[in-house]
Every structure is written in structure tokens, then in C-alpha cells.
Amino acid sequence: MSDIIQLLPDHVANQIAAGEVVQRPASVVKELLENSIDAGASCIKLILKDAGKTLIQVIDDGKGMSVTDARLSFERHATSKIRAAEDLFQLHTKGFRGEALASIAAIAHVEMKTKQEDQELGTHLKIEGSKVTYQEMASTPTGTSISVKNLFYNIPARRNFLKSDTVETRHIIDEFQRISLAHPEITFSLHHNSNEVYRLSESNLRKRVVSIFGSKMNEKLVPIEEETEMISISGFVAKPEYAKKKRGEQFFFVNDRFVKSPYLHHAVVAAFDGLLEQGSHPSYFLYLKVPTKSIDINIHPTKTEVKFDDEKALYAILRATVKHSLGQYSIAPVLDFNR
């Protein structure tokens, strides 16, 4: 009889975890942008080369990290965002799993510069395949800059599996749009191969939607507003006559986080009942705020799925709210028998 089980070394465990967190360059973009938001940044720059395959850099003016934290941030399960299991029921940050930087550093060449406001000098750190190869004090602005180079350099199968630059850029732009729509109060820019793709100055929701999807969008938007004990709903739906043949711009944000929810999507489509041509899809930008303890977002590492305590009630409220707003814009038949 012999023992054959061993604990995997950290860098191997990180590489395995990375498989879940980092599917493609867009996953890195999402994780880095979310970290910048959690760090309280008011201005975030995203710089890409070759659809992120060669370089993904995020520069923020957030709170930065101390020397020790800068190094610790690349350890797995290292996070400043939760301390105990109970905290999972009152999350106010995008991150909490402490996995992203560890995963990214396991499968790319990473360079970080970071400085806190009260520090004279910041930290400059390089890390490859989970190993720190360089760490020095450096003069750098307050905030954090992280460069992720040569993604999947040590996993040829993944690297070869990446799609064309056009497709990977599309995925990145999707993430960028979702995150910048969730945070109109933050300035964002996106540069790709030295071209400026987006420059979004701090604004409100309507202006952010318009600056991303074009000025024609402005006249199409019907405001949505509802507040109950369970949920507050705000945002816009596009008037039914603008519904698209191809899938429209469809965005749900729950507590400032983009989520996919076929169930809530169905509620919105149901509110358009009878107003849409066969085969056309409504556009919507809907922001739901619910008590943090009434949802679970820890279903999947990418956190785009969410579980609500009382899904049926949310469905009903959402459908009624959208229907009512469409009615107010006198573009829906008003069938209110109670008045």
C-alpha cells in the first residue's frame, strides 16, 4: 500500500484555475477594469495591441497598493474585498474571489506599477508564470497600471484556439461597453493599436448610452423608473418602432454589475407584447438595484449569472414597469381597467 496523492504546487493550481477565469483576452479586460472600479478610480484607460493577444494594459487613478499588497495581490485567494463567508451576502465590490490576478499571472507576462496617494514612490513588479522576476521601488502616478503581455504564452492549445483579431476585439468591446454602461460616472477610454476607439467622459446614463451607440439613440429612449421595497428599476428601453431584426442592444445590470438573465429578458419582451413585429428584438438598458442579501452572484467565476430570492415577483414588477412606461409614451395600447 502506498500514498499517491499530492497537493499541486501553486503555479499549477493557478494555471488550472486560470482555465475558468480567463477564456480569452476579453476575460482579462473584464477582470482588470473591475479591479480599477473597485479601487475607486475616476478615470480608466484600456490599451490593446492585436486584440489583446500581444498587450492588454489598464491604467487607473484609483487608490493603488502598498508594497506588500502589490506582491500579495498575485496570490490565489488573496483579496482585500471580503474577510469572512458572511461577507458574501453583502457584497459591494465587483471582485471578491481573489483569483483574477493569480490566474492572469499564471498564463501571461504581467507587469504592474502601483502607488498609493500618501507614498512618495510606488512599486514596480514583473511576474511570469506565477513567479516574481522583478520588484523595485519606482516613481509612478497614484493608481495602478497593469500590463498583460503574451496571453497564454505557456498554453499553446489555448493560444491557438483564440479567434481572429476581429472576433476577439468584438468580445473586448462587449465587455468594455457593459462595464462603461454600468458606470457612467467614470471616464473611460479605449485605444487599440494606437487608434482611439472610445473616449467616454464622465456623464449620466442617457449620455453614456448615446456616446456609445450614437446620437440617433437619444430620441429612441423611453425612461423606466420604479421603486418598490424589493427592487428599484431605472434606465431605458428603446421605442418598439426601433426594435431590431438582429438582436438589439440588451443590457441588464444588477447592483451595477452586467448580468445575463434569460428570465428577466423574457419579462421585458413580454412587456412589449403586441408592439413588436414578428422576429424583431427590443433594445434595453435596465438597471436593477436589489438588497445585496437577496441575490447570489457566486454561481460562476465570471459572475454574469445571478440568482434572485424571489424571481417570480421581480418578473412581474419588471414586466409591469416596462409596460407602464411604454404606455405613458402613448405607444402601447393603454388597457388600464382600474381607472
Binding of Mg ion by 27 (CB under 5 A): no
Q: Of the candidates 36, 169, 177, 250, which one interacts with ligand ADP according to CB under 6 A?
A: 36
Binding positions for ligand ADP, 292-311, rule CB under 6 A: none
The distance of closest approach from Cβ of residue 74 to ligand ADP in the complex, given in angstroms and rounded to an integer, is 8
Burial track 221-235 (b if 16+ CB lie within 10 A, e otherwise): bbebebeeeebebbb
Query: Which CB atom, from 122 or from 240, has the smaller least distance to ligand ADP?
Result: 122
Instruction: Tell me the Ramachandran region of residue 311: left when phi exceeds 0, alpha when psi lies from -120 to 50, beta otherwise.
Output: alpha
Query: Which CB atom, from 178 or from 323, has the smaller least distance to ligand ADP?
Result: 178
CA distances in angstroms from 21 to 16, 99, 260, 262, 304, listed in the order given: 9, 8, 17, 22, 12
Count of residues that bind Mg ion according to CB under 5 A:
3
Query: Which CB atom, from 114 or from 169, has the smaller least distance to ligand ADP?
Result: 114
Count of residues that bind ligand ADP according to CB under 6 A:
23
Radius of gyration of the CA atoms of the chain, in A: 22
Listed ranges 99-107, 162-170, 185-193, 312-320: which one lies at the site for ligand ADP (CB under 6 A): 99-107
Binding of ligand ADP by 101 (CB under 6 A): yes
Binding of Mg ion by 28 (CB under 5 A): no
Beta partners for 287? 234, 253
Binding of ligand ADP by 180 (CB under 6 A): no
Binding of Mg ion by 110 (CB under 5 A): no
Q: Please give the Cα distance from 93 to 229 (Å, whole number).
A: 22
97 interface partner picked from ligand ADP, Mg ion, none, CB below 5 to 8 A per type: ligand ADP
Please list, in sequence order, all residues whose beta carbon lies within 8 angstroms of the beta carbon of residue 57, skipping any fewer than 6 positions away: 45, 46, 47, 48, 145, 146, 147, 148
Query: Which CB atom, from 124 or from 323, has the smaller least distance to ligand ADP?
Result: 124
Binding positions for Mg ion, 70-99, rule CB under 5 A: 95
Q: Of the candidates 22, 33, 39, 91, which one interacts with ligand ADP according to CB under 6 A?
A: 39
Closest-approach residue to Mg ion (CB): 95
Query: Which CB atom, from 32 or from 271, has the smaller least distance to ligand ADP?
Result: 32
The distance of closest approach from Cβ of residue 252 to ligand ADP in the complex, given in angstroms and rounded to an integer, is 22
Instruction: Tell me the Ramachandran region of residue 8: left when phi exceeds 0, alpha when psi lies from -120 to 50, beta otherwise.
Output: beta
Binding positions for ligand ADP, 47-76, rule CB under 6 A: 60, 62-65, 73
Q: Of the candidates 100, 127, 221, 326, which one interacts with ligand ADP according to CB under 6 A?
A: 100
Binding stretches for ligand ADP (CB under 6 A): 31, 35-36, 39, 60, 62-65, 73, 78-81, 95-102, 144
- Interacting residue ranges for Mg ion, rule: CB under 5 A: 35, 95, 100
